[in-house]
Amino acid sequence: MQKFAPSILVLALSAALAGCQDKGPQKDKVNIDKNPYPSTYKAMPSSATLITNATVLTGTGERLDNADVYIVDGKISQIGVDLNVQADTTVDAQGKWVTPGIIDVHSHLGAYPSPAVESHQDGNEMVSPNTAQVWVEHSVWPQDPGFNRAREGGITTLQILPGSANLFGGRSVTLKNVPAHTMQGMKFPDAPYGLKMACGENPKRVYGGKGVAPYTRMGNMAGYRQAWIEATEYKRAWERYEQEYAAGMNPDAPKRDIRLDTLRGVLDGEILIHNHCYKAEEMAMMIDLGKEFNYHSGTFHHGIEAYKVADLLAENGNCAALWPDWWGFKMEAYDMVQENVAIVDAVKNSCAVVHSDSDTTIQRLNQEAGKVMYTANQKGFNLKEQDAIKWITYNAAKSLGVADKTGSLEQGKQADVVIWDKNPFSVYAKAEHVYIDGAKVYDRKDEKYQAVSDFMLGQR
């Protein structure tokens, strides 16, 4: 008996080895479903809408005065002066301003919702420095009242990110800011996923404090590099499997690992990096890290010191998503300058973005951009409204990989549009109408278009 057993094992092993080379009938191919929680988003009902006589900021750097915007079938159909078109609904926007829907590339709505009670702390999987396996969409509570408040401030698209406790925090999700009772109902169709990474103080504080790596900034870098080496091997193993299978062989699929699936998605160029990273020297190293492992280092979020490396960011095609004035809450946020966004923006081929990271300022991203514009102009910059709007529309869409779909008022693009009662860079400005895919989703003067979350229903 005892002799018999090993020989069976040997036989089995040799059969398995031969199986890799087997030209015989192939096993079913193992395919990884890259979209297992697909969007079920459907645009709300809309009709052909003509907005007339507005000051229009297109998001592409243009300003048109007394212009009309014509929306048909959820898309921007025409923009121009005195359009001669048929519309079901005409909105007189004399004296008002029209912009693309505002996009926030950095939000935790739904994952850190209101009320901010202990049961709702769903944004940071703080158990390991690499949690690339978690997807923040699985934390999103669509009833967060913050989504409605953000919509009232003109937010039509937003990226929900996991927190910054980990070197790899997990996947982000981009949402259309429509009321829905499932996450899938908000999910932006065909938007790429993002991967949240974090530099600096947060990961080393969270894990160093527990006596595990990373304890230092050099530990942070070692952690990223180790993970990308693993991901590179994983990608290679799957590619070999694909190649052998395509060649008619009968290989065994590599063992599936959802953490490495996400990292591989980055190496394949399908998932975009969104990197919480404050300091100049760290951004410079994260750019090199991307080059070392052959992926693009994506968007730097918070980037308090982006102004110190503005040239480098533009040269490498990195977006920098920044606050106008937050500072001082930790050492890496000490060197803030109020003109950070403007300095980054001033370089050719730059991609400056104003973000919120806040359930409060997301409601006034227009004013956050306005602060930068005015402060910078007082220091010798010459920024205009048509420039500043890009920081919260087109450039933000570019950062999220959806600039072909939204982020500007151009023919054929999704009609995500805001009508403001005045210059949106005034402290007194308010969004009057908000449209997503041509459908009115908010009207300041009509309760019918003012959504209330389940949580708030019957509370007042």
Partner 1 sequence: MTKFKLSMITGALLASSAAFAQVTAITGATVHTATEQGTLNNATVLIEDGKIKAINPENVTANETIRANGLVLTPGFIGSMNQLGLVEVGAVANSRDASDEKAGLDFDPSYAFNARSSLIPYARKGGITQNVATPLNYDGAYQGLAFTANLSGEFDSVTDKHTAFVIYLGAKSKGSRALSFQQFVEKLEGQKAKLAKKDDKKDADKPSGEERVLTQLLNGEMPVVIGASRAADITQIIKLKSDFGLDVIISGAADAVLLADELAKAEIPVIVSAVANLPSDFDAMHATLENAGKLEKAGVKVLLTIAGDSSHNLYQLRFDAGIAVSNGMSYDSAIKAVTSNVADAFAIDGGKIAVGQPADLVLWSADPFELSTTVEKMWINGEEVTTESRHDKLRERYTTDSELPRAYTK
Enumerate binding residues for partner 1 (CB under 8 A): 114-118, 145-146, 149, 201, 205, 307-308, 310, 325-331, 334-339, 343, 358-360, 363-364, 367, 370-371, 374, 378-379, 425-430, 455-456, 459-460
Select 247 or 427, whichever has its Cβ closest to partner 1. Answer: 427
β-strands 89-92, 49-57 pairing = parallel
Task: Tell the burial category of 79 from Cβ atoms under 10 Å away from its Cβ (0-12, 13-18, 19+).
Answer: buried
Select 39 or 143, whichever has its Cβ closest to partner 1. Answer: 143
Q: How far apart are CA 127 and CA 31, in angstroms?
A: 29
Select 385 or 416, whichever has its Cβ closest to partner 1. Answer: 385
3-state SS class at 198: strand
List of long-range contacts for 39-42, beta carbons under 8 Å, 24+ apart: 39/184, 39/187, 39/188, 39/189, 39/190, 40/182, 40/184, 40/185, 40/187, 41/176, 41/178, 41/180, 41/184, 41/185, 41/186, 41/187, 41/188, 41/189
Select 153 or 290, whichever has its Cβ closest to partner 1. Answer: 153
Select 176 or 308, whichever has its Cβ closest to partner 1. Answer: 308
Min separation Cβ 253 and partner 1, Å? 46
Query: Quick check: 150 and 361 in contact, CB under 8 A?
Result: no
User: H helices of 276-407, where?
Assistant: 280-293, 310-315, 340-345, 365-378, 385-388, 394-400
At which residue do the structure tokens 């973005």 appear? Answer: 353
Select 164 or 358, whichever has its Cβ closest to partner 1. Answer: 358
Select 336 or 441, whichever has its Cβ closest to partner 1. Answer: 336
At which residue do the structure tokens 């990226």 appear? Answer: 159
Query: Quick check: 173 and 184 in contact, CB under 8 A?
Result: no
Min separation Cβ 338 and partner 1, Å? 6
> From the centroid of its chain, how far is CA 247?
38
3-state SS class at 56: strand
Min separation Cβ 329 and partner 1, Å? 4
